[in-house]
Amino acid sequence: MIAIDDRATIGAAFRRAADAYGPNRFLAVPASSTRSYHGKGFEIDYARAGREVERLVTVYRSKGVGHGHRVAMLLENRPEHFLHKLALNTLGASCVPINPDYRPAEVAYLLAHSKADLALAVADRRAHVQAGASEAGTNLPIVTVENFAAEVVSPPKPARDGPVTAQTEAGILYTSGTTGRPKGCILSHGYELASGAWYATRGGLALMHEGVERIYNPLPLYHVNAGVLSFLGAMLTGNCQIQPDRFSPQRWWQEISETRATIVHYLGVVVPLLLGQPPSAHDRAHKVRLGLGAGVEPQLHAAFEKRFGFPLVEVWGMTEMVRILIDNHAPRRIGSRAFGRAVPGVEVRVVDEQDRDVPDGESGEMAIRHSAATPRAQFFSGYLDDPEATETAWRGGWFHTGDTVWRHADGTLHFVDRKKNIIRRSGENIAAAEVEALLQAHASVKQVAVLAAPDPVREEEVLACVVPHEGQACDAAAADALFSYCFDRLAYYKAPGWIYFTPSLPTTGTQKIQKHQIFPPGSDFLSLPGMFDMRARKRR
């Protein structure tokens, strides 16, 4: 394994990996006739990747791209994303991935908020980025990856002087927050390398062997899981990341078999969809020895392991701190929501609303830190241009995750629920406040509350409870109009899957909506009059 210390940078670590693991496979893409790129599959070894990164570095440097620049990237899940990231990080530039499902207004916000100096996109997404740039009112240079060397131009501002260090910004990942607009999490070189090294050294069931693992990760590269955690873990150990375009239950086992995957990453939604596929010879025709992820339903855990023949190891992590907690040692608590326990480097408290420790067995918010001496070590650097939100999250010297957990007497932590006002749909975090703000701007809407509805496949779905203005219709056509309004302006998965028209919403004396009182506990509220199911229209 490539050794790192608190001075290491991503570029230097990759050069060492390319030298040490030259002939080993570095990145792979499964074959797929339905994909617009690398239809016959793709693999690149460390030596060739090293040469390609050096070529990219030379081109970027010739145009003055360097330390302090931010490059927005819409490269989907293509392997080129990683090669350009490594080149940009080598020069001290920061990568700002764009969610391909973002609508122009969302792209505009990301470009403006991050103050991107340059954008890099695949050719058939260039117009999408341009629409966002136009809405943001910026003349941002946009370069296509297919014609990169000919199109790249000098950024409007010069690069900063000074060396690239472990504290240098490597990327900004946008994550939904309870205040509405996504927050930009600043991730340093030191943060990303520490996360990868941590992933690679958990041991137990999650033992990673050097130079032989092939990690199949179908999650999007604008998320920290595939874009940082498994990628850096693979790079530091001479292993290969297999990057499909997205999760597909129909292609899953074929791709895993053909790519010879040994480790797979999953989200909770993956498990029921795979169990729902008819039994086939592919169920065990693979080399997978470990699944790593979060959110598997307790009642499906044992059934999955029995049918497919490998353990699902539950973890906990978040963009702000992805040195994962992991249930990788015996005795495992299959059929529970256990995700490991505190360890040196990730200290944990379970606290009430006054930040007082709660007894074992009682639920509370999980607060974490590195240690008493260095609480913020190997965490994110902060929320971009939002020091108030950063310090609020770090109140009392502990980072408040917003996740509700309980701790067993033996120290094992169990997940209960996620932060308030966040809807978790198929692995995507959706801020209720963002959807509420958009709907509130609609001329027919007097008042709105957005909350999570249970969903048998996607875990949770977006439910918009709407009080219309007097005289406005409350029928299927009105629901369809509100859905279209949201769908045209938000990433498809954020649009309401359910729209409920109601004459009023419960409020406090200060007129704050009491979401927990909208529907009686235990009621079958999705079958109420005035409830419209829009889920079939939620398509990319």
So what's the pLDDT on residue 299?
83
208-217, 220-229, 500-509: least confidently modelled range: 500-509
So what's the pLDDT on residue 229?
98
| DSSP code per residue over 141-176 | -EEESTTHHHH----SSPPPPS---TTSEEEEEEE-
Q: Is the peptide bond before 331 cis (omega within 30 degrees of 0)?
A: yes
Residue 488 pLDDT grade (very low, low, confident, very high; cuts 50, 70, 90): very high
For range 298-324, the mean pLDDT: 94
For range 47-66, the mean pLDDT: 98
So what's the pLDDT on residue 257?
95
Residue 337 pLDDT grade (very low, low, confident, very high; cuts 50, 70, 90): confident
- According to CATH, where is 2.30.38.10 located in the chain? 341-420
Residue 510 pLDDT grade (very low, low, confident, very high; cuts 50, 70, 90): very low
Report the alpha-carbon distance of residue 147 to residue 54 in Å, rounded.
17
So what's the pLDDT on residue 180?
62
For range 194-212, the mean pLDDT: 96
- According to CATH, where is 3.40.50.12780 located in the chain? 10-340
Phi-psi region of 464 (alpha: psi -120 to 50; beta: other; left: phi over 0): beta
Cα distance from N-terminal residue to C-terminal residue, the chain:
40
Q: Which two tokens stand for residue 191?
A: 């943060």
Q: Which of 296, 195, 256, 261 is nearest to 313 (CA)?
A: 296
3-state secondary structure of 392: helix
For range 119-131, the mean pLDDT: 97
Fold exhibited by the domain 422-537: GMP Synthetase; Chain A, domain 3 (3.30.300)
Question: pTM, whole model, 2 decimals?
Answer: 0.85
Q: Which of 451, 468, 458 is nearest to 519 (CA)?
A: 451
Residue 435's identity, in one-letter code, is: V
Give CA torsion, residues 474, 102, 221, 9, to 10 deg.
-130
3-state secondary structure 52-92: HHHHHHHHHHHCCCCCCCEEEEECCCCCHHHHHHHHHHHHC
Is residue 508's pLDDT more than 60?
A: no
DSSP state of 372: S
Give the residue carrying structure tokens 């969809």. Answer: 273
For range 18-31, the mean pLDDT: 98
374 CB neighbour count, 10 Å cutoff: 11
So what's the pLDDT on residue 413?
96
Give CA torsion, residues 33, 34, 38, 39, to 10 deg.
10
- According to CATH, where is 3.30.300.30 located in the chain? 422-537
Report the alpha-carbon distance of residue 516 to residue 502 in Å, rounded.
15
- Quick: pLDDT tens for 263-289: 999 988 888 889 888 898 889 999 999
Residue with the larger pLDDT of the pair 322 and 298: 322
3-state secondary structure of 462: strand
Residue 432 pLDDT grade (very low, low, confident, very high; cuts 50, 70, 90): confident
Report the alpha-carbon distance of residue 198 to residue 194 in Å, rounded.
6
For range 104-111, the mean pLDDT: 95
- Quick: pLDDT tens for 168-197: 999 999 987 555 678 999 999 999 999 999
So what's the pLDDT on residue 178?
52
| DSSP code per residue over 213-282 | -EEE--S-TTSHIIIIIHHHHHHHTT-EEE--SS--TTTHHHHHHHTT-SEEEEETTHHHHHHTSPP-GG
For range 494-500, the mean pLDDT: 96
Is residue 215's pLDDT more than 90?
A: yes
Q: Radius of gyration of the chain from Cα atoms? A: 23
CATH class of residue range 341-420: mainly beta
For range 8-19, the mean pLDDT: 98
So what's the pLDDT on residue 182?
86
Report the alpha-carbon distance of residue 429 to residue 511 in Å, rounded.
27
3-state secondary structure of 380: coil
So what's the pLDDT on residue 85?
98
Is residue 397's pLDDT more than 50?
A: yes
Please list, residue by residue across 475-484, b when 16 or more beta carbons sit within 10 angstroms of its beta carbon and e when fewer do: eeebbeebbe
For range 108-116, the mean pLDDT: 97
Q: Considering the chain, what is the average pLDDT of its residues?
A: 93
CATH class of residue range 10-340: alpha beta
Contact 225, 241 (CB under 8 A): no
For range 410-432, the mean pLDDT: 83
So what's the pLDDT on residue 272?
83
